[in-house]
């Protein structure tokens, strides 16, 4: 799925389901981080008009996802907890190239975003197929489709704007790195946990 090297063990969904308040809190903050990431990309690469427009739409959509999650939290009488750290995303960030040209760093930031969208999409699929809560199963199915579109958008921008990065080669490196990294996850009630 989406080129991912390792699929999530469906039993992770059962772990997530034991603590819906926690997974929803973590999920809300993932959406906020996705919006913030899109805004940073806009700020740092404002010369690309089509990117500015498409990422504005994505930033808005991610905040709409945030709103949907906090609505569910409220409806169910849960509390939105404080922002959760995302160790998985922090590890991916360390893999981004920061020492090359501006274009290299830009392209890698797009691939970083595509990578997170791909794994989030896969995790939403696992949730939608395995949790017993019908409302949330439907919710995660809908989000899965949306995140798959974001994944495609980021990857296509990387292909469009590369100057000298071999995208297919670098994307392969990303998939391999992530495939190893994700082996240490899948045990916690966090979206990337």
Among positions 26, 147, 178, 189, the unique one binding Fe ion when judged by CB under 5 A: 147
What contacts 154, CB < 8 A, 6 or more positions away? 110, 111, 113, 114, 117
What is the number of residues in the chain?
193
Distance between CA atoms of residues 68 and 103, nearest Å: 35
- CB of 69 vs Fe ion, minimal distance in Å: 9
Q: Is 119 in the site for Fe ion (CB under 5 A)?
A: no
Q: Is 192 in the site for Fe ion (CB under 5 A)?
A: no
42-71 footprint of Fe ion as x/- string (CB under 5 A): --------------------x--x------
Distance between CA atoms of residues 101 and 115, nearest Å: 21
Among positions 16, 20, 28, 34, the unique one binding Fe ion when judged by CB under 5 A: 34
Number of residues lying near Fe ion (CB under 5 A): 7
8 A C-beta contact, residue 115 and residue 3: no
As to burial, measured by CB atoms within 10 angstroms (0-12 exposed, 13-18 middle, 19+ buried), residue 15 is middle
Q: Is 150 in the site for Fe ion (CB under 5 A)?
A: yes
Q: Is 27 in the site for Fe ion (CB under 5 A)?
A: no
User: Interface with Fe ion by CB under 5 A: which residues?
Assistant: 31, 34, 62, 65, 117, 147, 150
């Amino acid at each position: 799925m989406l080129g991912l090297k390792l699929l999530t063990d469906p039993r992770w969904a059962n772990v997530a389901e034991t603590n819906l308040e926690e997974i929803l809190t973590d999920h809300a903050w993932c959406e906020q981080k996705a919006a913030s990431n899109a805004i940073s990309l806009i700020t740092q690469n404002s010369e690309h008009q089509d990117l500015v427009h498409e990422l504005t739409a994505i930033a808005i959509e991610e905040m709409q996802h945030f709103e949907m999650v906090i609505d569910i939290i409220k409806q169910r009488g849960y509390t939105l907890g404080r922002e959760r750290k995302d160790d998985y995303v922090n590890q991916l960030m360390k893999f981004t190239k920061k020492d090359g040209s501006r274009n290299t760093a830009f392209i890698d930031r797009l691939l970083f975003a595509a990578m997170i969208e791909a794994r989030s999409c896969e995790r939403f699929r696992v949730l939608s197929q395995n949790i017993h809560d019908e409302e949330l199963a439907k919710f995660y199915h809908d989000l899965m489709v949306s995140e798959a579109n974001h994944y495609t958008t980021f990857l296509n921008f990387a292909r469009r704007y590369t100057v000298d990065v071999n995208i297919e080669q670098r994307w392969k490196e990303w998939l391999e790195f992530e495939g190893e990294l994700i082996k240490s996850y899948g045990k916690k009630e966090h979206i990337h946990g």
